[in-house]
Amino acid sequence: MNWSFVVSNAITLACIYGTLAIGISVTWSSLGLVNMAYGFIFALSGYGAWLASVNISANPAIVMAAGVLTGAVGGLFVCLVAFIPIHDKPNFPLRALIATLAISLVGNQALLWYFGPRAKSLPRLFGNWNADILGVIVTSDKLGASVSAIVLLTAILLWIRSSRRGLEIRAMMMNPHAASLVGIGVRRTGFYVMALTGSLAGLAAVLLAQTYYVAPFSGITPMIKGLSIALVGGLGSVPGAIIGAVMLGVNEALTSTLLGGQYVLITQFLLIILVLLVRPRGIAGLLDKAREA
């Protein structure tokens, strides 16, 4: 039993899935949109990064920037197609769910048609070396993935906490009705949010492609994991999503070591059901000290 392997795996997975979960959570709470096309944005930005690595340069910074930018563009596309035209119509959450699901299905088929079924692999962004942290041997790709996810997430969360646009996004997350009363435009904020969460999907895609491949349907499983983490953390709560990500990351690493990789989804959903039975609002129900209006 190799504990260092379990720990390093758990942390890496937690970072990547946490990035996705925060994206899904923020989209849901500020726009009321469950973005089922998140997996498509994920796969799309993997291809964006791959194209950049083939046609422009295999420089890690360029590959990563290409992935993040493609993700932002994908997010804006989803916003234009599935948010702007229908956000003020009745039953918006349901319509948006169907619209984004359609984008996801069509988009994945389009990727399959254009790039073919063969998986692409990205260049190794973080070199090929091992680090020894407190007796735990960590490979460079895992360390690089964790560190870059944490750095970028921290930067984005700080931006949301301190900037004026961030204030608008947080206000929308807490009370969209009151937000329009203080002059915050729903559509404009929608663009910021979708570009931001899209770029998070792009980042996660580039990082996960270090251990897996870029394929037309590679976004489905990460999206399911991101969505379930967002659920377990309490939709709309960033700290909840982080704790949920750590929990499910540990679960995934433990299950695949102890039982085998095929049981991961089973134990994961058992865990989620357990948490939601005890805390129906997710982990955020424990963290939230402020009374809701």
Partner 1 sequence: MPAAADRDQRRAVLDVRGLSAGWGPMRVIHDLDLAVFSGERIGLVGLNGHGKSTLFQAIAGLTGWQRGSIKINGFEVGRIRSQGPGRYTHQIVHRGLALIPQGDEIFHGLTVEEHLDSGAFTRRAWAERGERKRRILRIFPPLEQLMKTAVGRLSGGERRMVAIGRGLMADADLFLVDEPSLGLAPKIGKSVVEALMAVDLGASAMVIAEQNVALLQGRVDRIIGMHAGKLKGEASASSRNFSAERAR
Binding stretches for partner 1 (CB under 8 A): 88-90, 164, 167-168, 170-171, 174-175, 177-186, 288-293
Q: How far is the CB of 191 from partner 1 (least distance, A)?
A: 14
Output DSSP code: residue 263. Answer: G
Q: How far is the CB of 74 from partner 1 (least distance, A)?
A: 26
Minimum CB distance to partner 1 smaller for 116 or for 185: 185
Minimum CB distance to partner 1 smaller for 171 or for 220: 171
Q: What type of residue is 257? A: T
Minimum CB distance to partner 1 smaller for 124 or for 161: 161
Q: Which ranges of the chain does DSSP label H, i.e. alpha helix? A: 3-31, 38-55, 60-82, 92-115, 140-162, 164-174, 176-181, 186-208, 220-233, 238-258, 264-278, 284-287
At residue 89's C-alpha, the angle toward residues 110 and 195, to 5°, is 50
Environment class of 26 (CB within 10 Å of its CB; exposed 0-12, middle 13-18, buried 19+): buried
Minimum CB distance to partner 1 smaller for 63 or for 79: 79
Q: How far is the CB of 151 from partner 1 (least distance, A)?
A: 25
CA distances from 48 to 38, 42, 149, 188, 205 (A): 15, 10, 18, 25, 10
CA distance 166 to 164: 5
Minimum CB distance to partner 1 smaller for 157 or for 186: 186
Q: How far is the CB of 173 from partner 1 (least distance, A)?
A: 8
Q: How far is the CB of 234 from partner 1 (least distance, A)?
A: 13
CA distance 41 to 197: 10
